[in-house]
Structure 1
Amino acid sequence: MPDIILCTINARYIHASLGLRYLYANMQNLQSITEIHEFTTDQRAEDIGEKLLLRKPKIIGFGVYIWNVDITTDIIRIIKSVAPETTIIIGGPEVSFEQHDQSLIQWADYTIQGQADLAFKDLCQEIYDGSADQKFITPIPFKLNEIESPYAHYSDDDIHNRVLYVEASRGCPFKCEFCLSSLDKTAVAFDIDNFLLDLKRLLDRGARQFKFVDRTFNLKISSSKKILNFFLEHIDNNLELHFELIPDRLPEDLKDLITQFPAGSLQFEIGIQSFNPNVQKIISRKQNHQATCDNISWIVQNSHAHIHADLIFGLPSETLDSCAAGFDLLYSLQPHEIQVGILKRLRGTPITRHTQPYQMQYMKTAPYRVLQTNTISFVDMQRLVRFSRYWDLVANSGRFPHTLPILLNTSPFTNFMLLSDWLYETTAQTHRISLPNLFVYLYEFLLINKANNTILEERLLADYSHNKLKGRPSFMTTKLIRSERQSTSFARQNRHQKPTKTTVADLEN
């Protein structure tokens, strides 16, 4: 039985916690009595508490994040109620700032504020020695070469069944006020050669899915090139890489490497957040709009990389009209997915300074989403929340490549907001809408809005086949098209492949 358990609650099983593995890698003489236990947010708090206590630990350390703070609080409350002798240590971004109003803090014995790579082990040792006398611990700053690498502690199950999180650097030099990384003084890189050796060991063990958590992967171009060259040397059909890119920094030599990756292997998350210059100034975000647009268009047109471009609605001084303008501009660049987020007031972020000037009201509990501002009412903010959900369901899913163009036409935001409002009025749901029912709703909405019936049926029927649904839709009169070509790329990305043109003759054959 372990004396120490490292625990976190992930959003999904496929996510493997990098943070816990850093802590485990740096436990030194205590590593042999330490175990990692991960759970998911769809499990019950009492079941998780039971499983942890069955291991009879003396100390449990919890990683606390915005997505798991509620269930983690419930778990700790249960453990402290039935096994009060168990020492609870908490850490993570959700408990590193503004602790005065968090009940979780009251239940925990110790709280580590900041990077706990070394501090967690030191605290455990002090607890064993009887010298731990501070409830709140602020870690002493350290250099990255002082900590042990975590990657050997991904299990074989992790490697074959989960996405592996890796980082070539920590921190961010930019100061976007909605982001916790704005608190960093700068970005610091790990030794690139040692990092590539770690990646090689993971590849040799069979790892093929890597998500880089670096906030600015292409900040240091020389390192970015080394990493991309490394993966090109080890490319195969199953490799999947995810990077977060700075959108206005893409030199020619980096472009050349990007073009060499096959379809399905490269995914870029590109944060736009807002195209509104006034908003960007308010939140201290610097971005060259023209270079951003040029680079996104270039990636779409000249590479096989899959692009997730991010927008945030609800930023201070943003209006419904400026949200629409930014969305339409981004859509015109044709990224494969537009991730529409609603502003969240993360604990500790400087966005708080705009609360009074812009009359920003936020949810008091996680995820702390903005409810209204002086330029977007609560009712309109709710419409934007639903817009985001339906956009993910209809557009980002890649399930309607033939129908989406006639749905959006020349005014993507306005037309999709019309659909969003109608869908909610019709269904009163934003979740649990089955795919066959979604086809029916799109058909009805587009007919109401004067779509050409023949073209509409052709497009929806093509998408019906694209999704490999069986049977004939009851509201359609033409035949199902036959299945189109197969692809070896990843399923969601494959649904975003440009559709082939379908004619009535094709449908009848």
Structure 2
Amino acid sequence: MTRNESHMCNQDISDKILLVAINTKYTHSNSALLSLNAYRIDRGEKPFPMKQFDLNQGDDYILGEILAAKPEIVAFSVYIWSLEKTLKAASALKTIYPETQIIMGGPEVSWHTEDLLKANPYIDIVVRDEGEETFFELSKALEKAQDFTQIQGITARKNGIVFSTPDRPKIQNLDELPFPFAPKYNFSHKNFTFYEASRGCYSKCAYCLSSIQGSVRTRTLEQIKKDLNIFFESDFKQVRFADRTFNSDKQRAIEVINYIVDNNKKNIHFHFEIQADILSDDVIEAFARERKSIFHLEIGIQSTNPKALKAVNRYYDPERLKKAVKALRSRTQCRLHLDILGGLPYDTYSDFKKSFDDVYSLAPEDIQISLVKILKGTPIEERVISGELVPLPYPPYTVMKTQWLTPMEAAMINDISKLTEAIHNKKFFQKSLSLIIDALFAGSISDFFEKLVKFWRKRLIPFHSISPNFVAVKLNEFVQETTTLTEFQERISDMLSHELKLASNTPGKIIPSPFPPISSNTKQPLFRVNSGIKIFYYKYSPLEESLTTKDNPQPVVYRFSKTGIPTTCLEEFSNQATAFAIEFIQQKGEKSKFKQEWAKRFGEDKSVPDFETILKKLQKQNIIVPI
């Protein structure tokens, strides 16, 4: 008796098939698996068991978990990020149990499927393109050991021969598809997922799978609102709309935005991909209604080189795009995420740098840089066949050489991408970066990161697992090496120290006050300073733009928390008067001697602030409390 025969003696028929997905992060939920099972439940069938993994989990762990489920058939949901791990798991499964059937589906395996099966003999069947109907019919046939060779939309092998059945027509009415997070399905999930309010795309960008997915089909507004109501009652933290151009239908976009603003009581974050140059003023006004920064907007700039954009059918009006992005920045609380693609046809390294500088000038929160990937079935594959683009031979098929870009330049773009994500996008050192880029690199972020990458490489510093403290140290070293201007070196050192405190929620090394201690102490103080209030002094105030050295060290008052709440910089109290008053209370100064101690520190000619007024202000902000 084989492993499967032994297992199937006591196995429910629905347990024959195991659904598997490998997500990018642990926090993600794969909506494809849930949708396949929801489609099955709606037709009176039991759901299949599911296992979801992430890229950080080892190959041995993934294999072990699949084996522990003892499936006869394993169906993998495959994306470009998961293909490599999926192929390893499938190959190992087939080696250990040759009778196990391997099915794959998803965007990464829906094109060139016959080549895929011929190159990977352990794959038995591929479900092409949209999978709900095809996989339901296929799984029913496999459960009953029936013939499946007439089912539309599959590529498979029979008697050693690979064959493909005709394509299945695309689903036109998306309202007919189940919403997999509806309570009736009772599926467990993590805190992030994609939501398909539409399929297809009006644009025909040569590098994107959506360009070959046919006409745009959408769920109705009524259905979208029903789905959103379920999200609003869920414990999701972020929902990403899979619409390729959310604002292509202006009125629909406005209705969805307003519905979220009016009903999103749990402040779930929503991510949309938009085309900024067609963004109308009334859509911007709808986004402006929300003041809690729950909207994340992704805008695909890709390049600002018109020739490169034309080569990949990416069209937008640059001036209208700039105007729209500036309006979003000034009028809304949306977090803006702008994309740049290196390695496009006709894009040189200089073109990439210009695009980077152009995008930086728009001041988005996030700048995502990547080298173009060659997705199976997309028109850009023709550029590979012609020899214009040279991708790596393994997933995700990153372009590392073109007729216009050398491998060394591609590697530089790759490393710039890593440091941009680790340093710029984390927002820990915004003021420091701005000062460095403006003063030392004439405002060119591309020149800055290019030189920083060379600095990183020269010292063999890893490009991963970069902590805020590590960044502060290395940026300080970088500035010391880049300029001999002592004043600027000291200013950046102070600014980095200040921003690190805000990033790490810890005061770090406690530096004693540069001033002599208060000498007139009392044994019966009237107030005490709350725990977590710390004062640090700087030569150059990190709260001011000026490089002018002041007569006295400049104070900054911080509130640190033991509960993990982010550090607060109490700017309104970061002046000599209130900082001195806090120190005076901390050192149990005699109230009647405040004027005397002030004069000892700052001189007789400096006017004395009103201590009672300061005390009221500090009490109001819970910086001090009566004893």
Q: TM-score, normalised by structure 2?
A: 0.74
Question: How big is the shift at 1:118?
Answer: 1.0
Aligned mate of 1:466, from 472, 483, 502: 502
The residue number in structure 2 matching 1:483 is 558
- Counterpart Cα distance in 2 of 1:317 and 1:502: 54
Aligned mate of 1:3, from 7, 13, 16: 16
The residue number in structure 2 matching 1:426 is 459
Quick one: which amino acid aligns to residue 216 of structure 1?
T
Aligned mate of 2:169, from 121, 140, 143: 140
Change (3 A) 1:432 1:145: closer
Confirm whether residue 311 of structure 1 aligns to residue 340 of structure 2. yes
- Counterpart Cα distance in 2 of 1:498 and 1:63: 47
Quick one: which amino acid aligns to residue 269 of structure 1?
E
Change (3 A) 1:471 1:204: closer
- Counterpart Cα distance in 2 of 1:45 and 1:448: 43
Question: How big is the shift at 1:11?
Answer: 1.3
Verify the 8 A CA contact 1:80 1:86 in the aligned structure 2: yes
Q: Please, which moves more after superposition, 361-370 or 401-410?
A: 401-410
Question: How big is the shift at 1:504?
Answer: 9.5
Change (3 A) 1:469 1:407: farther
Aligned mate of 1:455, from 491, 501, 522: 491
Confirm whether residue 394 of structure 1 aligns to residue 430 of structure 2. no
Aligned mate of 2:146, from 130, 133, 137: 130
- Counterpart Cα distance in 2 of 1:186 and 1:83: 42
- Counterpart Cα distance in 1 of 2:572 and 2:436: 17
Question: How big is the shift at 1:395?
Answer: 0.3
- Counterpart Cα distance in 2 of 1:504 and 1:456: 20
Q: Give 3-state SS (helix, strand or coil) of 1:254's partner.
A: helix
Verify the 8 A CA contact 1:90 1:110 in the aligned structure 2: yes
Q: Please, which moves more after superposition, 207-216 or 167-176?
A: 207-216
The residue number in structure 1 matching 2:70 is 56
Question: How big is the shift at 1:9?
Answer: 0.7
Aligned mate of 1:182, from 211, 229, 232: 211
The residue number in structure 1 matching 2:53 is 39
Question: How big is the shift at 1:357?
Answer: 5.5
Quick one: which amino acid aligns to residue 193 of structure 2?
L
- Counterpart Cα distance in 2 of 1:190 and 1:364: 38
Q: Give 3-state SS (helix, strand or coil) of 1:70's partner.
A: helix
- Counterpart Cα distance in 1 of 2:95 and 2:368: 41
- Counterpart Cα distance in 1 of 2:219 and 2:575: 57
Verify the 8 A CA contact 2:232 2:265 in the aligned structure 1: no
Change (3 A) 1:123 1:30: farther
The residue number in structure 2 matching 1:107 is 122
The residue number in structure 1 matching 2:477 is 444
Question: How big is the shift at 1:262?
Answer: 1.7
Gaps of 5+ in 2: 1-11, 150-154, 157-163, 515-535, 539-555, 581-627
Alignment of 1:222-233 (within 5 A): 222-233=251-262
- Counterpart Cα distance in 1 of 2:104 and 2:577: 60
Q: Please, which moves more after superposition, 45-54 or 384-393?
A: 45-54
Change (3 A) 1:10 1:275: same
Verify the 8 A CA contact 1:401 1:498 in the aligned structure 2: no
Confirm whether residue 235 of structure 1 aligns to residue 250 of structure 2. no
Quick one: which amino acid aligns to residue 483 of structure 1?
Y
Quick one: which amino acid aligns to residue 27 of structure 2?
I
Q: Give 3-state SS (helix, strand or coil) of 2:239's partner.
A: strand
Q: Give a deviation string over 1:165-208, Cα, whole Å, max 9, x none.
A: 21211110111111111112321111220221122123234445
Change (3 A) 1:505 1:112: farther
Verify the 8 A CA contact 2:191 2:237 in the aligned structure 1: no
- Counterpart Cα distance in 1 of 2:469 and 2:387: 43
The residue number in structure 1 matching 2:29 is 16
Q: Please, which moves more after superposition, 45-54 or 63-72?
A: 45-54
Verify the 8 A CA contact 1:355 1:361 in the aligned structure 2: yes
Q: Give a deviation string over 1:388-419, Cα, whole Å, max 9, x none.
A: 00111110011111211122212221122111
Aligned mate of 1:69, from 53, 64, 83: 83
Alignment of 1:290-301 (within 5 A): 290-301=319-330
Quick one: which amino acid aligns to residue 447 of structure 1?
Q
Change (3 A) 1:343 1:502: farther
- Counterpart Cα distance in 2 of 1:25 and 1:457: 56
Confirm whether residue 329 of structure 1 aligns to residue 358 of structure 2. yes
Question: How big is the shift at 1:42?
Answer: 2.0
Question: How big is the shift at 1:359?
Answer: 2.9
Alignment of 1:362-441 (within 5 A): 362-409=391-438, 410-441=443-474
Change (3 A) 1:196 1:438: same
Q: Give 3-state SS (helix, strand or coil) of 1:344's partner.
A: coil
The residue number in structure 1 matching 2:315 is 286
Verify the 8 A CA contact 1:274 1:280 in the aligned structure 2: yes
Change (3 A) 1:434 1:427: farther
- Counterpart Cα distance in 2 of 1:391 and 1:499: 29
Change (3 A) 1:407 1:167: same
- Counterpart Cα distance in 2 of 1:498 and 1:351: 49
* Bigger RCO (CA 8 Å, 6+ sep): 1
Aligned mate of 1:257, from 250, 272, 286: 286
Question: How big is the shift at 1:125?
Answer: 1.4
Question: How big is the shift at 1:356?
Answer: 5.8
Identical amino acids, percent of aligned pairs: 24
Q: Give a deviation string over 1:87-106, Cα, whole Å, max 9, x none.
A: 22111111112342567742
- Counterpart Cα distance in 2 of 1:392 and 1:12: 16
Verify the 8 A CA contact 1:247 1:272 in the aligned structure 2: no
Verify the 8 A CA contact 1:24 1:36 in the aligned structure 2: no
Verify the 8 A CA contact 2:557 2:574 in the aligned structure 1: no
The residue number in structure 1 matching 2:105 is 91
Q: Give 3-state SS (helix, strand or coil) of 1:140's partner.
A: coil
Change (3 A) 1:116 1:465: same
Aligned mate of 1:210, from 239, 263, 282: 239
Q: Give 3-state SS (helix, strand or coil) of 2:359's partner.
A: helix
Question: How big is the shift at 1:331?
Answer: 0.8
Question: How big is the shift at 1:302?
Answer: 1.0
Which protein has the larger Cα radius of gyration, Structure 1 or Structure 2? 2
Verify the 8 A CA contact 2:557 2:570 in the aligned structure 1: no
Change (3 A) 1:146 1:225: same
Q: TM-score, normalised by structure 1?
A: 0.90
Verify the 8 A CA contact 1:313 1:340 in the aligned structure 2: yes
Question: How big is the shift at 1:48?
Answer: 2.3
Question: How big is the shift at 1:351?
Answer: 0.9
Quick one: which amino acid aligns to residue 50 of structure 2?
I
Verify the 8 A CA contact 2:175 2:223 in the aligned structure 1: no
Verify the 8 A CA contact 2:34 2:187 in the aligned structure 1: no
Q: Give 3-state SS (helix, strand or coil) of 2:271's partner.
A: strand
Change (3 A) 1:374 1:92: same
- Counterpart Cα distance in 2 of 1:89 and 1:506: 71
The residue number in structure 2 matching 1:273 is 302
